[in-house]
Structure 1
């Protein structure tokens, strides 16, 4: 078959720049540059001459596609049956990974009320505790008992707990976390009891380097502490997930998620682990929402695309009325779900491994962010070593 590209002459970067400068009619090309924090200058376009690194291998390792789980928040207050109604509505609408935001501790009765009608082998259940007296060990025990009562074997169970002891406890119970992970390694291979919650590090696109450096520092701290208990890094990686905020800066967010994979791959190599991916969960940043639900619905499409093109494994799209501090409605939840269905069923973004690969702009921005975040992480690591 004839290569159609051979009919077109190659165009070097200097030729492109000359054309752009001509069209600008005397306006300096530098006026189109923009700055991402103090260290990164982003040009208006990039050329193959700007790409001097191969970035695809760590991003593709172990991936067969770009599928992700469709998530939805379920607030659980005193009435677990009310939360169950919202849950079943979401599952019927295509939710694959509900996140239960618990505002009171669960007991066996309330857990069974909450999960009534759920086919456990068909869904990933996710739990976060939003009260002062967090009891992740008790929650873990309840969930394991529920799966066993349902006749679901360990390999069929999929659930996560937002347990981030460095963030949540004055004296982090690392031994408890280590026991969780060892239990999962022995019997629950698809369960993730540890979340590196990095949402608190997010403060806008200008601080993306610091956000990623702090995220890596936190993940590396868990690897260091948990390997000291006898666990190996590959097992730890298998049972953790990263919780990352996604904001409104389309290309920066794509590059951020891709850079995260490069950075974590680098850290795992230090422990002798190669070819393993982080499990990345994306949540809409709170500051990305405003008082106009219609604006939020429109903006949500590009936010979700940033996360998906960046290669996340699970995505939570906020209902458009969340910023109004009023209860979610069936309509606002449905629109949030259907956005993800459109990205899968009509745009087919789940079928292409690393959709951003080969884009000179995205590849260059990914590398710039990753390089500077790695340097910042090394600086933080050195400062910690001398504390």
Structure 2
């Protein structure tokens, strides 16, 4: 800060602070007592000081404040339109439609919406050049941009197989759209899979970057924004740093390919720490996760309803999750300051370390054939499983706490009659090209045991 506050106080150096801390510890070891190490191998100190931590990381400037996204699953087009209009009237600024069927009438779905003012995301569960061309025609007529969230690599990693695209190469289909579809963003990296499956932050960043690199290598002359979707957990300051790091690493990679398009970061709270019992605590978790996303510089935030793991979409859950973001934006004023974390020595330090470690892992992936090769060999799956098991062991031993589940559980909670959705990993034996990466919540085993005891 150029204009220092409290000039009447003498400055205290980092060395002086350490000496005082060591004195107060009465002989206990400073490093063993106060320094802890994150799963990413980052040592976190009790304090940070500008005489040793003033790291000049590049600013994470984004174009505008974050947008509030409403998720809508499209089953009935007319009902989806009605729901979208209602959500926009109640504070949503963007709509993310999940579309499973290529036969969905996209013209009808978008015709009555103000897509010039409200960003539209189409989460496509299929890959169709014809469908994306239809979307582009609609966007072109309105002189706007629509995000087609279609990610063949995520499809392979999560399902084990590519999109069923009539035998055509998935990347060739996307390449065929480059020259014609200038009003649709169709390179999408859904990196939420890695966090939800248990990868640590360095892995999440490195795998996201490696996934972007695969698209840069396989699709030429693409100039529209690239959308990266990430999941955010409850390690508050680390998650802020993670999003900042993603922008820094993306900018460095994009410059190598002379890519001048924008990076658009879409965030959503992780499912990994969400719980079936004492489910209202999920609202506390998603609130801090959304705060991290906003302060980290996300362009859009799609909140997760507190009951999303066991209830179908419902008006109450949607309204509460949307209102959480409205409170952060309009009552907490999270939209008033850009780059709020700039100059925070702790966050800057963690950002720099995450960037260094993620870049090292990214280079190792590329030196060993790239992300796709390592997915086919099972290397990525193995590394994520290792990280996930370490976290699971911490949860099982009580060192990682989820209130209401492995700490202070309410034995009177009953959930078996409230399950509209199956909240656990589904096993579907089938032939796949690779071993899929499986998303799994930390509390699943504990919850299954509790559900079984309800019948006794």
TM-score w.r.t. length of structure 2: 0.72
Change (3 A) 1:147 1:36: same
- Partner of 2:180, secondary structure, is helix
- The residue number in structure 2 matching 1:10 is 11
- The residue number in structure 2 matching 1:50 is 52
Distance 1:207 1:2 in 2: 39
- The residue number in structure 1 matching 2:235 is 249
Write out the 4+ residue segments of structure 1 that deviate beyond 6 Å after TM superposition.
none
**CA apart distance, 1:206:** 6.8
**CA apart distance, 1:142:** 3.0
Distance 1:181 1:36 in 2: 42
**CA apart distance, 1:2:** 8.1
Change (3 A) 1:204 1:362: farther
Select 2:180's aligned residue among 167, 183, 189.
Answer: 183
- The residue number in structure 2 matching 1:198 is 191
**CA apart distance, 1:321:** 1.0
For structure 2, the 5+ residue unaligned runs are 156-161, 374-456
For structure 1, the 5+ residue unaligned runs are none
On the 8 A contact 1:36/1:205 being kept in 2, the answer is no
Say which structure is richer in helix: 1
**CA apart distance, 1:317:** 0.3
- Partner of 1:349, secondary structure, is coil
1:357-368 alignment runs, 5 A limit? 357-368=342-353
* Structure 2 residue 37 is matched with structure 1 residue 35: yes
* Structure 2 residue 88 is matched with structure 1 residue 95: no
- The residue number in structure 2 matching 1:306 is 292
Select 1:329's aligned residue among 314, 336, 340.
Answer: 314
**CA apart distance, 1:309:** 0.6
Quote the RMSD (CA, aligned, Å): 2.6
**CA apart distance, 1:193:** 1.2
Distance 1:64 1:244 in 2: 19
1:22-171 alignment runs, 5 A limit? 22-30=23-31, 31-37=33-39, 39-51=41-53, 53-57=55-59, 59-60=60-61, 63-65=62-64, 67-77=65-75, 79-108=76-105, 111-115=106-110, 117-130=112-125, 134-147=126-139, 152-153=141-142, 156-168=143-155, 169=162
Change (3 A) 1:102 1:364: same
* Structure 2 residue 217 is matched with structure 1 residue 224: yes
TM-score w.r.t. length of structure 1: 0.84
**CA apart distance, 1:343:** 1.8
Distance 2:128 2:269 in 1: 25
